[in-house]
Structures are given as structure tokens and as C-alpha cells.
Amino acid sequence: MVITWHKKLFSINVQYQTTGASSQAGVLLEPSDSTLLLLEKHNMRYRMSPGQIEIFVAALQPGTSSALTPVFPLDKNELLFFKLNFSDHSLPGKLKFFADTASQDLGFPLLYTGTKTTSSSAAVALHYEKTKVLPGIGSYLVKASDAGLSSTTYTTFNLSDRNGKIVGSAGTFKNSDGYFSCSWDLHLASTGIYTLEIGSLSKTVFIDTKNEFTNALELIQITRTEKVKYPSTINSSSFVNFTQTIQKL
């Protein structure tokens, strides 16, 4: 007989600083709509609590042996995304979301990624990506001089996915203010990081193709790496803990 278990693969924990302590009260972490579909597709489970979400993966136990055969459910192009908000809407105004003044121009949501690169059992800090989150149908203004196109009135731009495949290309005229408008419609593509190339400029952007994160303060992208180890026995408590602490103002 083969028994299917669900073992914890990773968790995400977000807390914020208060006076003399840290708290997870009122922190809402939830999977995006596309992630819910992936979890269902691959027989994965999740559990939510204040400031935390835990992801469980299916594993098979043949016969009475305690050894588990992990079922690797995601391929390298399938990413998991989670949204962060607060039940107390006044709380974000008391917290320091932006690392520097210039980052405020990127606006919300902020993008964080979780990638485990070592075999250490230590918690993995979520990494802030200084990248603007843009909608699936949208545009981005590029100053002609920033792209080495000061004397050019018409040019083309390309949008490439993280594998280098061009997913969008179009021509654009320089407007009277000296900017080129790069417009796209990627609502049928996958949410994720794209590269915009125009003239000499190459810029990384995150495109929310399904507009899942419009009202979120943060979006968290978890990527698959071989360093995310699956539990090998029923009693194994090994899993990856991705963490973030938001400082108070």
C-alpha cells in the first residue's frame, strides 16, 4: 500500500517592529490566484496564520517503510507568488517599507524574492528587488537621452522573458517631451520578471500579467532551486523558512 503524506516544504514569515518588540499581528499573507491553481494542480497544500503561510508538498510512503519519495511538483518555469497586506489599514503608515527615498518612486507593491542558494538550515531573508511592478496591459516611458536616442525620433523596443525569449516588440515615436512610450499587452503571458530593451537601455521590470497584486503592499516570489530539500522521512522537520522584518518609522 502507498500512502500519500503532505510534508512542509517551506514557510514565509513576515513580522514588523513595534516599540521594543516585534509582532505578526494583523499581517495577512495569502497565495495569489495563479498560485492557488498551481497548488491544486500539483496536489500541494497551504496553511495560513497571522504573519505566516506554510506550503506542503505531497510525498509517497511505499508500504510500511518510513522512507518518503518526494513528488517534485513544480518545473523551473512555475513560480509561486504570495500577497502581503495588513488587516489594520493604519499600520502601514507607521512602517518603513522603502530602503531609501529613491525607492519610493517605484510605489506599491514592493517585490521580494525567496531563493535558497546554500545547504544551510538557517532562515533565508527575503530579498528586496528594486524593480517597478507594472500591469499586464501597460506602458513605460523612457527618456530618449537615457537610451542614447537623443537624435532619434522613431525606434523599436523589445520585451524578453527571463529565458531571453522576446515576447513583445513594437515601434514607438518620441513625444514632444523627449520620451518614448513602450506599450504592451501581455495579459496572456506569465507573471514575472521581464527585460525591456530600447536603444542602449536595458531595464528589468516585473509585469503582473493577471493584475493579481494591484491592492497588495508586497508580492513575494518563491523560486525553485535544488537547495530546497524535500523531507526524506515522516518525522523529518526540515523545511525552508523565508523571513522578512519590516522596520518601524
Condensed to tens digits (0 to 9), the pLDDT of residues 149-193 reads 999 999 999 999 988 999 999 999 999 999 999 999 999 998 999
Q: Which residues contact 188 (CB under 8 A, 6 or more apart)?
A: 209
- Whether residue 197 contacts residue 160, with contact meaning beta carbons closer than 8 Å, is answered with yes
Q: Which helix (H) or strand (E) holds 110?
A: strand 110-114
Please give the torsion angle defined by the CA atoms of residues 224, 186, 30 and 3, in that order, rounded to the nearest 10 degrees.
Answer: -50
Residues 4, 219: Cα–Cα separation, whole Å: 31
Domain boundaries for CATH 2.60.40.10 within the chain: 137-208
Q: CA 69 → CA 30, 56, 61, 119, 171, distances in Å?
A: 28, 14, 6, 20, 51
Q: Assign 202 a pLDDT band (cuts: 50, 70, 90).
A: very high
The radius of gyration of the chain from alpha carbons, rounded to an integer in Å, stands at: 21
DSSP annotation of 156 = E
137-208 CATH fold: Immunoglobulin-like (2.60.40)
What type of residue is 133? Answer: V
Give residue 78's pLDDT.
Answer: 83
Q: Assign 68 a pLDDT band (cuts: 50, 70, 90).
A: low
- C-alpha cell recorded at residue 92: 502601514
Condensed to tens digits (0 to 9), the pLDDT of residues 78-125 reads 889 999 999 998 999 999 998 788 888 888 999 999 988 777 778 899
